[in-house]
């Protein structure tokens, strides 16, 4: 394995226990190749995934105070998908430091998205164990500074009618029903109002320039109301 001093410089974290760093870079394929158990980075990946989720969740919560949890969850998912994490791993040149089996090496394992993404999370887990939460947070905020500087406010719910139906299915097999309340205005500038009902009870109303838009607005209003109910 190549010298780890330059990697620690790039990480901005000199390890007190360099064995943790080596473990974070050890791919599971090594264990499969040996005839005896070999420690690898999957446990550290598990830990790093949780630490990363907590740090990014806090940042998103503070950056977008007016955004609901559904949109925040989608924004976090974009930041931590395998492709995004692999890019962070590639920027740190983790591939050059990975400990791989011969088979994994010969099939391009050093540049494999899954290997780089897993190594990045494992590395974060190792930093957390070696330096504590403050060190892990400093590393994450530095690594994701560019992502947060360009991250726009999360979009609203992509499919409010679908999400409302999914939420209501936990209560009753009955699907929500949409009813047109009114339509007014000139043909080129119509204004529609729709209500959404469930099990005979009106949940909310919405408005829009088309019947479909009004139904979506009603579904959004119903989702907000239902999610604010105690116990939900």
Q: Which residues are catalytic?
A: 49, 121
pLDDT category, 48, cuts 50, 70, 90?
very high
d(CA 113, CA 117): 6
Question: Predicted confidence band at 155 (pLDDT cuts at 50, 70, 90)?
Answer: low
CATH number at residue 196: 3.30.160.20
Tokens 């109910």 map to which residue? Answer: 229
In this predicted structure, what is the pLDDT of residue 86?
92
What pLDDT is stored for residue 78 in this prediction? Answer: 85
- Two structure tokens written together for 133: 């939460």
The angle subtended at Cα 71 by Cα 70 and Cα 77, nearest 5°, is 95
Provide the 3-class DSSP secondary structure of residue 184.
Answer: strand
pLDDT of 1 higher than 50: no
Least confident of 38-42, 108-112, 140-144: 108-112
Q: Is the dihedral angle over the CA atoms 54, 40, 119, 27 positive or is it negative?
A: negative
54-80 confidence digits (pLDDT tens): 999 999 999 888 777 877 888 888 899
In this predicted model, what pLDDT tens digit does every residue of 25-42 receive, in sequence order? 999 888 777 767 789 999
Joined tokens for residue 55? 């740090």
Note the pLDDT of residue 75: 84
Pairwise CA distance, residues 12 & 140, whole Å: 11
Decide which of 126, 150, 174 is a domain's last residue.
Answer: 150
- Around Cβ 185, how many Cβ atoms within 10 Å? 10
Sequence-ordered list of residues with C-beta below 8 angstroms from that of 85, at least 6 positions apart, any chain? 116, 117, 120, 121
Would you state the pLDDT for residue 232?
47
φ, ψ dihedrals at 127, nearest 5°: -65, -40
Total domains in the fold of the chain = 2
Of 112, 131, 150, the last residue of a domain is 150
pLDDT at residue 187 in the model: 78
Q: Is residue 145 a part of any domain in this protein?
A: yes
Comparing 198 with 35, the larger pLDDT belongs to: 198
CB distance 140 to 146 below 8 Å: no
Average per-residue pLDDT for the chain:
87
pLDDT number for residue 192: 93
Task: State whether 171 and 137 are in the same domain.
Answer: no
In a domain, 155, yes or no: no
CA 80, CA 130: separation in Å to the nearest integer? Answer: 22
pLDDT of residue 177: 94
User: Do residues 16 and 58 share a domain?
Assistant: yes
- Given 120, 150, 180, the domain boundary residue is 150
What pTM value is reported for the model?
A: 0.66
Judged on CB neighbours under 10 Å (0-12, 13-18, 19+), 189 is exposed
Query: Which structural domain range is residue 171 located in?
Result: 160-227
Q: What percent of the chain has pLDDT over 90?
A: 51
Burial class (CB in 10 A: 0-12, 13-18, 19+), 162: exposed
Q: What are phi and psi of 190, to 5 degrees?
A: -80, 155
């Amino acid at each position: 394995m190549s010298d780890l001093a330059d990697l620690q410089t790039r990480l901005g974290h000199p390890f007190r226990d360099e064995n943790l760093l080596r473990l974070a870079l050890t791919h599971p394929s090594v264990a499969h190749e040996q005839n005896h158990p070999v420690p690898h980075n999957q446990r550290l990946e598990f830990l790093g995934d949780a630490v990363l989720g907590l740090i990014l969740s806090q940042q998103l919560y503070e950056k977008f105070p007016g955004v609901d949890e559904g949109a925040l969850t989608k924004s976090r998912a974009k930041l931590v998908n395998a492709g995004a994490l692999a890019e962070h791993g590639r920027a740190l040149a983790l591939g050059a430091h990975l400990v791989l089996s011969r088979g994994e090496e010969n099939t391009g394992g050093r540049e494999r998205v899954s290997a780089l993404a897993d190594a990045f999370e494992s590395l974060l887990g190792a930093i957390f164990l070696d330096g504590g939460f403050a060190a892990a947070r400093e590393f994450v905020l530095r690594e994701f500074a560019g992502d947060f500087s360009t991250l726009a406010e999360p979009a609203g719910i992509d499919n409010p009618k679908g999400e409302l139906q999914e939420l209501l299915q936990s209560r009753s097999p009955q699907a929500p029903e949409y009813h047109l309340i009114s339509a007014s205005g000139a043909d080129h500038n119509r204004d529609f109002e729709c209500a959404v009902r469930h099990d005979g009870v009106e949940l909310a109303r919405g408005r829009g320039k088309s019947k479909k838009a009004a139904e979506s607005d009603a579904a959004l209003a119903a989702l907000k109301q239902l999610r604010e109910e105690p116990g939900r």
